[in-house]
Amino acid sequence: MFSAGAHYGLTSSRRHPSAKEYLFGTKGGVELFDLEKTSTLFADALAFVASLAAQRKVILFVGGKAEARDALKRVAQSLGAPYVAGRWIGGTLTNWSEIRKRLARLEDITQSVQTGELAKFTKRERLLIDREMADLDLMFGGLRGLTKLPDALVVVDPRAERGSIQEARQLGIPTVALLNSDCDAADIAYPIPGNDASRETIAFVLGEISSTYSGNLGAVPTPAASPEQAAPEAQ
């Protein structure tokens, strides 16, 4: 983590009170994280991720800032996990029923394009439908395949993504977060104090989470047998 620059925080004037316990000094006016404490908390977070994987629980990855976007999207796609690598849409969790309708509409349009059904529409109608699909994909494309609320969130910079944190807290969904010294750790179940503005740190943390999840996947649950199937055949 040291080589990835995870120990660099922000200036003391930007420090959130909850970050004080994770810091040990300053260098050049920048506060430094105590990486021993960070490592301990990171291990706790990875243990939680491993428990989610063992039960094949769904993690939603969130991180729309420029430094996080590419790595977060890459990791989520490698796991087949949902993600938000852009602006958080208010109500994504707390108004899930409406978001699910938007996702269904996106799938309907996509299928129509793939099957050639749009050929029956006029050129103007096809243009409007294409624009609608592009807008829906921009806002909700990373959530394709998500059929229910996620079991946990992995967030890069909860200060920037406070909308997702607030919604998760409201619904009792636990959060793992990489957070800098300007973030409030109180609402994070598994905080990982570190430099959330460093591409190297972000890539390292997300990579470890990805490896832990994929390395601890439980067996795919088998459908329960019907009473007829469960009953022994008569002799």
The model's pLDDT over 137-147, given as tens digits with 9 standing for 90+, comes to 999 999 998 99
The model's pLDDT over 48-69, given as tens digits with 9 standing for 90+, comes to 999 999 999 999 999 999 999 9
How far apart CA 38 and CA 206 sit, in angstroms, is 15
The gap from C-alpha 135 to its chain's centroid, in whole angstroms, comes to 21
The model's pLDDT over 80-97, given as tens digits with 9 standing for 90+, comes to 999 999 999 999 999 999
Q: What is the dihedral of CA 69, 127, 105, 165, to 10 degrees?
A: 30
- Percentage above 90 pLDDT, the chain: 67
pTM over 0.85: yes
Q: Are 75 and 206 in contact (CB under 8 A)?
A: yes
Residues of the chain below pLDDT 70: 221-235
C-alpha distances in angstroms, 104 versus 29, 76, 101? 50, 21, 5
Q: So what's the pLDDT on residue 3? A: 75
Helix 199-215 with 35-54: angle, nearest 10 deg: 40
- Domains plus CATH for the chain? 12-89+149-215 (3.40.50.10490), 97-142 (1.10.287)
Q: So what's the pLDDT on residue 112? A: 81
Q: So what's the pLDDT on residue 10? A: 82
| DSSP-assigned states of every residue in 5-35 | TTTB---GGG--GGGGGGEEEEETTEEEE-H
